[in-house]
Amino acid sequence: MHPDTPWWKTAVAYQIYPRSFADSNADGVGDLEGIRRHLDYLAWLGVDALWISPFYRSPMADFGYDVSDYCDVDPLFGTLDDFDRLVADAHGRGMKVIVDWVPNHTSDQHAWFRESRATRDNAKRDWYIWRDAKPGGSPPNNWISSFTFEPAWTLDDRTGQMYLHCFLEEQPDLNWQNPEVVAAMHDTLRFWLDRGVDGFRMDVIHLIGKDPTLADDPADLAALSHVPLNNRPETHELLRGLRTLLDSYNADRVAVGEVYLLDTKLVAEHYGHGDELHLNFNFPPLYTAWDAAKWRKQIERAARELDPIDAWPTWVLSNHDNARHRTRYGGSEARARAAALLLLTLRGTPFLYAGEELGLEDADVPPGRTVDPGGRDGCRAPIPWTADAPHGWEGAEPWLPWSPCSGERSVESLLADESSILHLYRRLISARKESPALLTGGIELLDAPRGVLAFSRRDVATADLRTVLVNFADETIDLEGFGSCEVVVSTAPGGEGARFTGTVSGASGVLLRG
Ligand code: GLC
């Protein structure tokens, strides 16, 4: 591996949704100190970087993605001192810390919006996007907001104008065309950079550039929300500004864009020419069914769009916005294991979502306990730490119900069982670390029988070679040609350390040396 390879290319990243991870003060909501107390577990697992979803001051209309103060910790999650301790202790274990940054919108309780909405002529009026309603009172354009699928405009009686919000009405969009907004938001990045964070996950970053004419979305697409439709040239100049700011610290800080444009070609554009974001999430694979041929296309697509521009891919199967992949793939543990092998052997930086290493499924949240306006409660169920209830969440009942089999799938239970999915994740992460081919090598898709995805990873400098075979079908499949290879990791029981037998059981995968 080249000595100049940046850490974020070889890292395994791990997303923590702080409300649901670990509770240190018995109020039923996870917090920063809860994360700190479990750093040894994360180090044991082998993850290199933590991405922590928002913990800033927030009225929690969108559980923290509605920020009322970018430069403070919400008391629910702790204090700035807790954050500093967490970063110091993560760094002490060699782990990087990436924080979430929410630039497209603030909370309607942010001081900037309170001022902006107060009068038409105040200094911050133009920090948000205000327009008159059309004659007759309809909104200025046909944009639809996410979650509610209602018009993305709300009339504010105080001044008789409407403001834009691509999400909830409690989340007014900032006006990034105003240089004062750019400067103020850059300052929020500096605040966390100065505190030692290693990078940012940038929330719906593709939204910050907007069509200055606010033209209607095409009528045939307008039933969608505006969010996946907002692909604008204005965004790229803003991204270059963010990159310049990060680079002024040192080349080690990373920006990971949540580009919610569901086309890999458009995602690729947000890397720029190495002068925009270092990494971007590519969601089409997350929305791909458990199907070898479809996955092969996604892998080809990522290589086709990203390799020519020297952009480094990312892979993600689960996060706090979507049903967990085990749930999406039908609940099968075998599939979840095979998916882990795929995720951790592809070329690019993998992002794990806390709990997937336990094989968690979504909680079934009864109507009386739903809290999220976007219907995403199921994947946000609390992490079970101990086998016995309340699974390490002493005190108030957790804010969301448990996911199925939380006792058997607790960290405590799975740690005690070497054959568990948790130990499998650990072996995969460690197999990745010891192989230059898996860390930074090229990928080549191989011919394989129907139902099987096969690829090799090769590092030219060291001649390190790995082969990955994933059987998406439920039946055992016989494969020829890999008989001399050693099985490094097998997602089905047995076989590791031995020669490959040539058969891959249903819904399983193997990582081969050679
Ligand atoms: C992103 C976040 C999501 C949030 C939305 C609005 O998509 O991942 O959780 O609700 O942006 O900030």
231-243 pLDDT tens trace: 999 999 999 999 9
Supply the pLDDT for residue 223: 82
Q: Would the CB of 353 count as within 6 Å of ligand 1?
A: no
Q: Would the CB of 393 count as within 6 Å of ligand 1?
A: no
Banded model confidence at residue 1, pLDDT cuts 50, 70, 90: confident
The answer to whether residue 258 is catalytic is yes
- Check 203, 217, 276, 459 and give the catalytic one: 203
Residue 3 has pLDDT above 90, yes or no: no
Q: What is the mean pLDDT of the chain?
A: 97
Taken in order of first residue, the domains within the chain and their CATH numbers are 7-104+179-430 (3.20.20.80), 111-164 (3.90.400.10), 441-513 (2.60.40.1180)
Ligand 1 geometric centre to CA of 19 (Å): 15
Min mean pLDDT across 164-178, 215-229, 357-371, 427-441 is at 215-229
Q: Which two tokens stand for residue 301?
A: 């697509």
Q: What type of residue sits at position 390?
A: P
Cα–Cα distances in angstroms (integers) from residue 434 to residues 210, 265, 312, 464, in the given order: 44, 32, 20, 10
pLDDT tens-digit readout, 116-131: 999 999 999 999 999 9
Helices (H), 138-273: 179-194, 233-249, 264-268
Ligand 1 geometric centre to CA of 65 (Å): 6
**Helix 421-433 to helix 333-343 angle, to the nearest 10 degrees?**
10
Nearest to 234 by CA among 104, 99, 65, 139: 104
Percent of the chain with pLDDT over 90: 97
Ligand 1 geometric centre to CA of 63 (Å): 9
- Check 108, 156, 258, 305 and give the catalytic one: 258
Nearest to 163 by CA among 176, 151, 180, 147: 151
Q: Would the CB of 511 count as within 6 Å of ligand 1?
A: no
Q: Report the nearest atom of ligand 1 relative to the CA of 166.
A: 6
The answer to whether residue 203 is catalytic is yes
Supply the pLDDT for residue 251: 74
Q: Report, as an integer, the average pLDDT of 15-23.
A: 99
pLDDT tens-digit readout, 473-506: 999 999 988 878 999 999 999 999 999 999 999 9
Residue for token digits 């075998």?
334
Residue 509 has pLDDT above 80, yes or no: yes
Pocket test for ligand 1, best of 65, 170, 173, 174 (most atoms within 8 A of CB): 65
Q: Report the nearest atom of ligand 1 relative to the CA of 66.
A: 12
Q: Report, as an integer, the average pLDDT of 171-189.
A: 98
Q: What type of residue sits at position 399?
A: W
Supply the pLDDT for residue 50: 99
Q: Which two tokens stand for residue 368?
A: 């009386």
Banded model confidence at residue 250, pLDDT cuts 50, 70, 90: confident
Residue 222 has pLDDT above 90, yes or no: no
Nearest to 42 by CA among 13, 62, 19, 74: 13
pTM, two decimal places? 0.98
Supply the pLDDT for residue 107: 99
Banded model confidence at residue 2, pLDDT cuts 50, 70, 90: confident
Q: Would the CB of 203 count as within 6 Å of ligand 1?
A: yes
Helix or strand or coil: residue 484? Answer: coil
Q: Would the CB of 283 count as within 6 Å of ligand 1?
A: no
Using CA positions, which residue lies closest to atom 4 of ligand 1? Answer: 65
Q: Are 23 and 30 in contact (CB under 8 A)?
A: yes
Pocket test for ligand 1, best of 204, 206, 316, 379 (most atoms within 8 A of CB): 204
Q: Report, as an integer, the average pLDDT of 168-197.
A: 98
Pairing of strands 279-280, 199-202: unpaired
Burial of 134 (0-12, 13-18, 19+ CB in 10 A): exposed
pLDDT tens-digit readout, 39-66: 999 999 999 999 999 999 999 999 999 9
Q: Report the nearest atom of ligand 1 relative to the CA of 319.
A: 8
Give dist(CA 24, CA 36) in Å, integer.
Answer: 9
Using CA positions, which residue lies closest to atom 6 of ligand 1? Answer: 65
Q: Are 386 and 350 in contact (CB under 8 A)?
A: no
Q: Would the CB of 65 count as within 6 Å of ligand 1?
A: yes
Q: Would the CB of 205 count as within 6 Å of ligand 1?
A: no
Using CA positions, which residue lies closest to atom 2 of ligand 1? Answer: 203
Tally of CB atoms within 10 A around 310: 9
Q: Would the CB of 102 count as within 6 Å of ligand 1?
A: yes
Q: Which two tokens stand for residue 496?
A: 């590791």
Residue for token digits 């990203």?
306
pLDDT tens-digit readout, 378-421: 999 999 999 999 999 999 999 999 999 999 999 999 999 999 99
CA atoms within 13 A on the CB side of 156: 26
Supply the pLDDT for residue 40: 98
Q: Which two tokens stand for residue 436?
A: 């230059």
Supply the pLDDT for residue 427: 98
List of residues 6+ apart from 85 with CB closer than 8 A: 33, 36
Which long-range contacts does 3-8 make (Cβ < 8 Å, 24+ apart)?
Answer: 5/439, 5/440, 6/251, 6/252, 6/254, 6/278, 7/48, 7/49, 7/96, 7/198, 7/252, 7/254, 8/49, 8/96, 8/199, 8/254, 8/256, 8/278, 8/279, 8/312, 8/349
Bridge partners for 350 per DSSP: 315
Banded model confidence at residue 330, pLDDT cuts 50, 70, 90: very high
Bridge partners for 15 per DSSP: 51, 353
Q: Report the nearest atom of ligand 1 relative to the CA of 227.
A: 7
Using CA positions, which residue lies closest to atom 12 of ligand 1? Answer: 65
Residue 210 has pLDDT above 80, yes or no: yes
Residue for token digits 């603030």?
106
Residue 226 has pLDDT above 80, yes or no: yes
Q: Is 495 left (phi over 0), alpha (psi -120 to 50) or beta?
A: left
Give dist(CA 426, CA 412) in Å, integer.
Answer: 15
Give dist(CA 10, CA 3) in Å, integer.
Answer: 12
- Helix H, strand E, coil C: the string for 418-447 is CCCHHHHHHHHHHHHHCCHHHHHCEEEEEC
pLDDT tens-digit readout, 65-124: 999 999 999 999 999 999 999 999 999 999 999 999 999 999 999 999 999 999 999 999
Banded model confidence at residue 136, pLDDT cuts 50, 70, 90: very high
Residue 343 has pLDDT above 80, yes or no: yes
Supply the pLDDT for residue 63: 98
Segment holding 80, helix H or strand E: helix 80-92
Ligand 1 geometric centre to CA of 33 (Å): 24
Q: Where are the beta strands (DSSP E) in 361-438?
A: none
Percent of the chain with pLDDT over 70: 100
**What is the spatial order of strands in the sheet that 153-156 belongs to?**
130-131, 161-164, 153-156
